[in-house]
């Protein structure tokens, strides 16, 4: 997937910058600056050479009194900011993912809606009610027929029918949520607790939590979850424990908790390596996935939250 990447991009949330790095040496080559607070999260579409970065606002989830309402469009090959998509009246754009049909879906937290964007026209073409207080993160399985949002304060996961763009219902979870991931086949949704170091496995056909999985070696509640490109591993970042958990996806067993930098957030896969942005100390850590070990780190801005390859 990213094994032969042409380039590497990182969102420096703390520094309010977008960085381009050499994908071999990991040295910063280009810095895009001058953005409103705060650049937050990232979607890279390697096939088009475009990246998308929301302007979330100057607060944090649940306390964002001056929410943003724009989405930056970045030409990765030219390393330029080429367009800005206005999402108003929707506000506080956060997690975004590409759907199977080529449209972009993005949670707008303060509006509790999912915006639908056509990247060919850079236009908002619809908004889907998530039925939540603050829509936080989202995920979409490979077939693109369902979309799931984690609703942090509500302790629910919203289930959205993508083709018909409507809310189907909500799945209750035992605790508040911080992150969400879905298996490629769409059969399992993993919801990350915001209260304790566990994740909840949801059977999407049954529409309920079927298992609570403790995160071994992790002291506090975690944050972001993603499946590896081959679907064999589940990766969970623990912002407050400064660790990355590597878990066998099929069994939720064989866990490894690996120490990284301060406040690890999002991460990206490149071949057998995992690249972890640590917003607390401005480091990017490189994890050897087969060996399950931290092989080193480099400096990457003031505090990168998200990383991608193209």
Nearest to 231 by CA among 182, 272, 276: 182
Helix (H) or strand (E) holding 192: strand 188-193
Q: Report H helices in 168-284.
A: none
pLDDT grade for 4, boundaries at 50, 70 and 90: confident
pLDDT one-digit tens code per residue, 35-68: 999 999 999 999 999 999 999 987 566 666 778 8
Token pair for residue 56?
A: 């979330």
pLDDT of 118 strictly over 50: yes
List pLDDT tens digits, range 240-250: 999 999 999 99
pLDDT tens digits, residue range 194-228? 999 999 999 999 999 999 999 999 999 999 999 99
Q: What is the mean pLDDT of residues 20-33?
A: 96
What CATH number matches the domain at 35-164, 3.30.590.20, 1.10.10.10, 2.130.10.10, 2.60.120.620? 2.130.10.10
Phi-psi region of 186 (alpha: psi -120 to 50; beta: other; left: phi over 0): left
- What is the tens place of the pLDDT at every residue in 192-203? 999 999 999 999
């Amino acid at each position: 997937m990213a094994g032969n990447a042409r380039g590497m991009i990182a969102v420096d949330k703390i520094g309010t910058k977008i960085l381009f790095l050499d994908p071999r040496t990991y040295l910063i080559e280009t810095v895009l600056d001058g953005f409103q607070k705060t650049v937050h999260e990232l979607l890279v579409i390697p096939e088009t050479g475009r990246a998308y970065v929301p302007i979330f606002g100057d607060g944090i989830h649940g306390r964002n009194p001056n929410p943003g309402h724009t989405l930056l469009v970045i030409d990765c090959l030219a390393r330029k900011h080429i367009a800005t998509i206005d999402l108003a009246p929707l506000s506080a754009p956060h997690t975004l993912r590409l759907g199977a049909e080529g449209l972009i879906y993005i949670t707008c937290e303060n509006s509790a809606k999912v915006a639908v964007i056509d990247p060919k026209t850079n236009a908002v073409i619809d908004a889907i009610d998530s039925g939540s207080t603050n829509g936080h993160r989202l995920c979409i399985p490979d077939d693109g027929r369902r979309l799931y949002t984690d609703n942090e304060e509500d302790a629910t996961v919203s289930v959205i029918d993508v083709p018909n763009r409507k809310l189907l219902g909500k799945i209750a979870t035992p605790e508040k949520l911080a992150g969400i991931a879905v298996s490629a086949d769409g059969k399992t949704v993993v919801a990350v607790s915001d209260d304790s170091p566990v994740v909840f496995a949801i059977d999407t056909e049954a529409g309920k939590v079927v298992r609570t999985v403790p995160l071994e070696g992790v002291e506090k509640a975690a944050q972001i979850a993603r499946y590896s490109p081959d679907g064999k591993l589940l990766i969970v970042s623990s912002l407050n424990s400064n660790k990355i958990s590597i878990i066998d996806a099929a069994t939720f067993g064989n866990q490894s908790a690996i120490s990284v930098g301060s406040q690890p957030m999002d991460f990206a896969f490149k071949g057998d390596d995992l690249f972890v942005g640590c917003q607390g100390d401005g480091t990017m850590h490189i994890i050897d996935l087969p060996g399950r070990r931290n092989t080193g780190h480099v400096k990457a801005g003031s505090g990168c939250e998200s990383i991608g390859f193209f």
